[in-house]
Amino acid sequence: MQDLTLVMAQFDPLVGDIPGNAARAIEAVREARIEHRADVVVFPELFLSGYPPEDLLLRPSLEARLDEARATMAEKMARDVLVIIGYPGVREGQRYNLAGVLYNGRWEAEYAKQTLPNRQVFDEQRYFAPGTQTLVHEHKGVRLGLLICEDLWHEAPTDAARAAGADAILSLNASPYHQDKPAERLRLLEARSAGAGCPVVYVNTIGGQDELVFDGGSCCLDGEGKLAVLAPYWQPGLMPVQLRRQDSGAWTPGDGEIEPDVDPEESLYCALVTGLRDYVNKSGFDGVVLGLSGGIDSAMSLAIAVDALGPQRVRAVMMPYHYTADISREDAAQQADMLGVHYEVLPIEPVVESFMGTLAGVFEGTGRDTTEENLQARCRGVLLMALSNKKGLMVLSSGNKSEIAVGYTTLYGDMVGGYNAIKDVYKTWVYRLARWRNAQSPAIPERVIERPPSAELAPDQQDSDSLPDYDVLDAILQRYIEGDMSAEAIIAVGFDRDDVYRVIKLVDRCEYKRRQAPVGVRVTPRGFGRDRRYPLVNGWQPGE
């Protein structure tokens, strides 16, 4: 029986760092050769450029940088290992998303991605031309059919590779995470490998890149759709797959390590931690600073920040005013102590009163309204940005998706920041995550989870004063934002007409705020930003 050891290289490239990514690949192949006696090493999609490179693909020097990196790899890569790695490239005047095949110092072949997604966060038709040729590359007796990411979500490329004689399908991927995506991906792979009747090796990237986060989960399935190997989610590393030739001539994977399923809360929490950690570290910040209000959102953000960066790189600031409850002050101090972060209290009363004194003349004759409430939030934002400038820390904002959707945030106030770890997390999920995190080890005071949420910008204020209960609000928002359901369609499901129209009008009206909000981890099937694009000025009216 003939064996071939294939190693899935599940690593996190840095977008734009072509020399650094090439060096990482060279080192990974060396390790795979020493530790696993690898015959083949497969890297993710566009590994050399990082994913997604976006308009870096249009830079005039990109091709020269890639050529230099590929020449370095050919010279320094370990011998007697077939390396399959993704990168962009211009060929005969067209730019393609490519998988290159390197062996013993020679680039032997290239495959161009055939199916270019142009939906949700994907914009590949802006940059690439579709490939038209199937590639099956033989190495040590096994014929390897190459695909890239979206190709595998369609039957035709897989069928073409099998028809060309592929014994196994290798897919290079940069498949971003969202809730339920790992299970969705495995269902697709089960169907595709069973339909092809041959093993499918799926190599995914890992780590955070701006709003996107990649969960890994590289795997191999046999020709009957059974999972044979599954690499850990959220962990970089090398995962071997043993392909064995049977007496019939067919190649099958040997049983390998399979990571156990994780709770949906754990998967989502890991996504948030990974996205924040990589954004801060790849951007070169020393750490983060955030306003700690004693409420659930800032408490959740603090826990994520500590798990992502360590307590020594996190600074929390309580900025009380007249309406800040004593329990908020107590809970904020308790959580800071629980997590071991640097903590300080900066009262904003002198700052607010100074602003109000300056504005007294122009405000004369007007009553108190949200202007005064927003001014409190904006004073806090100014203080946080001053700390950011002076201490070299990134401001971490903490608005959840429910609030951001309906504009229950203050522009230039609590929206101030460089990143928001929970930007795409609905309020109901914030509570679920808080309970899950506390079940691992105490991180958030229980009273923060149990008490009614409030912005504390006015006496006895609660979120429910101006919004439906979050269970109802989130259910409406999910249908409108992610399901693209109309107002009447949502009402037909059983929701109150007034609630639905009020919520939808708030979502539509607050698009201008979201355009100015910090970026954050995308974890739902349709996040705000690059995923959902609506005009700021329009005359569309909700209805059918």
Query: What is the pLDDT, as a whole number, of residue 247?
Result: 81
The pair of three-digit structure tokens given for residue 340, joined into one six-digit string = 């071991």
The pair of three-digit structure tokens given for residue 116, joined into one six-digit string = 């270019």
Query: What is the pLDDT, as a whole number, of residue 234?
Result: 95
Give the C-alpha distances (Å, rounded to integers) separating 17 from 88, 186, 333, 416.
13, 31, 41, 29
- Provide the residue ranges of all domains of the chain, joining segments of one domain with +: 3-256, 265-520
Catalytic residue annotation:
45, 113, 149
Enter the CATH code of domain 3-256: 3.60.110.10
Least confident window among 184-188, 235-239, 449-453: 449-453
Averaged pLDDT for residues 102-120: 94
The pair of three-digit structure tokens given for residue 351, joined into one six-digit string = 């700052």
Residues 6+ apart with CB under 8 A from 281: none
Q: Are strands 342-345 and 314-318 parallel, antiparallel or unpaired?
A: parallel
Q: What is the pLDDT of residues 79-100, one digit of tens each?
A: 999 999 999 999 999 999 999 9
Averaged pLDDT for residues 153-165: 94
Enter the CATH code of domain 265-520: 3.40.50.620
Res. 530 pLDDT band, cuts 50 70 90: confident
Which residue in this structure is represented by tokens 């904002």? 397
Rounded to the nearest integer, the mean pLDDT of the chain is 93
Q: Do 265-520 and 3-256 have the same topology in CATH?
A: no
Hey, what amino acid is at 259?
A: E
Helix axes 470-477, 497-509, angle to 10 degrees: 60
Give the C-alpha distances (Å, rounded to integers) separating 195 from 198, 219, 228, 359.
8, 17, 16, 71
Query: What is the pLDDT, as a whole number, of residue 5?
Result: 95
Q: Which residue has the higher pLDDT, 464 or 468?
A: 468
Query: What is the pLDDT, as a whole number, of residue 120?
Result: 83
The pair of three-digit structure tokens given for residue 503, joined into one six-digit string = 């919520």
Residue 389, burial from CB neighbour count under 10 angstroms (0-12, 13-18, 19+): exposed
Hey, what amino acid is at 239?
A: M
The pTM assigned to this predicted structure is 0.94
The pair of three-digit structure tokens given for residue 402, joined into one six-digit string = 């429910």
